[in-house]
């Protein structure tokens, strides 16, 4: 029986790269039934909301979604991407950063997984103006969220046969918040004796990643540090257009690329659908559809390796459609 998966194309280049990923998934012949919902800034006027309840409920019910990037309304309203994570309690963001064949970069063997919290830290939206000329934001760290995230990261490292978890922090300065986070990570690490825990200042880690990313493995951080580190990681392997992501909670996972709406490319048909296709690979693995996942992954990597068809962001001239045609052709020939 076909598994239901919610499709949220989103804003900007979202609909273009989602259509490409959907075509590639369908070409594998896997039994996926897409349930399409409009959400995001561009559909807000039509829908009366950037994130309609129907869409959230559908994701909750299906337990899995493929989501394009969504923008944010001016005026401080919570961005729909953040709201979706909150409403579904998708507390962990995973960003696998992997060197890809045919994508020329400074390093060849990068294989990192960034895991960050998305439920608290600096992104709580707790900001206020104290007096004119002075504003304040509140960073929140709880032991419950920190333990939950650390358990998630260590379990992921164990399930993928990885060896090391590096926790990024600033506990020397932020003694209470980052200090508590670090304490929780140390506590959880004791239950995973086969994994090496490395503690590192977030700034030192940035420097090390740029100098030699191959010495790291799983990188665990709170919200803001984690987001910045993952973007740094994306820069090491070819940019925003090639890194996928998963936002995971209990019983629900939403797969979305690291990149945003890329307004400079929207509607031009030249966005790189690699990140979104790699999201689809993660989605298929999550659904237990290993054959379809490997078919899509192998086809994508072989098109990238051949290098004849590539989008402008990775040095080519192909359109999104031409790249997708090439991937679909390889799947069909397999
Ligand atoms: P947002 O505000 O939604 O995060 P943004 O433009 O600030 O959008 P990104 O969308 O992540 O941030 O993109 C930054 C730049 O990276 C884009 O302007 C674009 O040039 C490039 N980029 C992002 N995604 C892709 C992609 N899939 N293919 C090609 N280039 C991309």
Question: Which CA distances in Å does 28 have to 31, 154, 274, 280, 329?
Answer: 9, 32, 16, 11, 11
What are the tens digits of pLDDT across the range 219-254? 999 999 999 999 999 999 999 999 999 999 999 999
pLDDT at 39 over 80: yes
Q: What is the mean pLDDT of residues 302-324?
A: 96
**Which residue's CA lies nearest to atom 9 of ligand 1?**
260
Supply the residue whose CA is at minimum distance from atom 4 of ligand 1: 260
- The CA 265 to ligand 1 mean position distance, Å, reads 8
Indicate if ligand 1 lies below 6 Å from the C-beta of 50: no
pLDDT 10s digits, 106-146: 999 999 999 999 998 887 778 889 999 999 999 999 999 99
pLDDT digit string, tens, across residues 157-168: 999 999 999 999
Mean pLDDT of the 285-295 span: 97
Average per-residue pLDDT in the chain? Answer: 95
Q: What are the chain's domains?
A: 1-95+243-334 (3.40.718.10), 106-237 (3.40.718.10)
Alpha-carbon distance of 125 to 208, in angstroms, equals: 31
CA angle centred on 231, ends 228 and 237, rounded to 5°: 150
Check if 259 has its Cβ closer than 6 Å to any atom of ligand 1.
yes
Ligand 1 neighbourhood includes 227 CB (under 6 angstroms): no
Q: Are 34 and 22 in contact (CB under 8 A)?
A: yes
Ligand 1 pocket check: which of 10, 41, 240, 324 to mutate, most ligand atoms within 8 Å of Cβ?
Answer: 240
Cα 326 to middle of ligand 1, angstroms:
23
Q: Please state, as a whole number, how many other Cβ atoms lie within 10 Å of the Cβ of residue 128.
A: 9
The answer, yes or no, to whether any atom of ligand 1 lies below 6 A from the CB of 276, is no
pLDDT band at 48 (very low <50, low <70, confident <90, very high): confident
């Amino acid at each position: 029986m076909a598994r239901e998966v919610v499709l949220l194309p989103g804003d900007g280049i979202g609909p273009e790269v989602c259509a490409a990923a959907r075509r590639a998934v369908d070409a594998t012949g896997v039994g996926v039934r897409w349930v399409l919902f409009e959400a995001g800034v561009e559909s807000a006027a039509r829908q009366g909301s950037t994130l309609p309840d129907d869409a959230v409920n559908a994701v909750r019910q299906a337990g899995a979604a493929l989501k394009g990037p969504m923008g944010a309304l001016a005026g401080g309203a919570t961005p729909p991407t953040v709201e979706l994570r909150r409403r579904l309690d998708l507390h962990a963001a995973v960003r696998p950063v992997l060197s890809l064949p045919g994508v020329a970069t400074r390093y060849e063997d990068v294989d990192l997984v960034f895991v960050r919290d998305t439920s608290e830290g600096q992104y709580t939206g707790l900001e206020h103006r104290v007096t004119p000329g002075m504003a304040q934001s509140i960073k929140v760290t709880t032991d419950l969220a920190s333990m939950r995230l650390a358990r998630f990261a260590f379990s992921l490292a164990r399930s993928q046969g990885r060896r090391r978890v590096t926790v990024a922090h600033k506990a020397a300065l932020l003694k209470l918040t980052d200090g508590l986070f670090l304490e929780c990570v140390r506590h959880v690490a004791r239950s995973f004796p086969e994994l090496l825990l490395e503690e590192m200042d977030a700034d030192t880690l940035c420097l090390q990643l740029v100098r030699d990313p191959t010495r790291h493995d799983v990188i665990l951080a709170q919200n803001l540090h984690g987001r910045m580190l993952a973007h740094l990681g994306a820069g090491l392997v070819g940019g925003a257009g090639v890194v996928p992501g998963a936002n995971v909670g209990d019983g629900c996972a939403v797969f979305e690329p690291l990149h945003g709406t890329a307004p400079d490319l929207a509607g031009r048909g030249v966005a790189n659908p690699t990140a979104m296709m790699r999201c689809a690979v993660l989605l298929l693995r999550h659904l237990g559809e290993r054959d379809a996942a490997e078919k899509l992954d192998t086809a994508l990597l072989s098109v990238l390796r051949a290098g004849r068809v590539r989008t402008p962001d990775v040095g080519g001239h192909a359109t999104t459609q031409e790249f997708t045609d090439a991937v679909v052709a390889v799947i069909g020939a397999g």
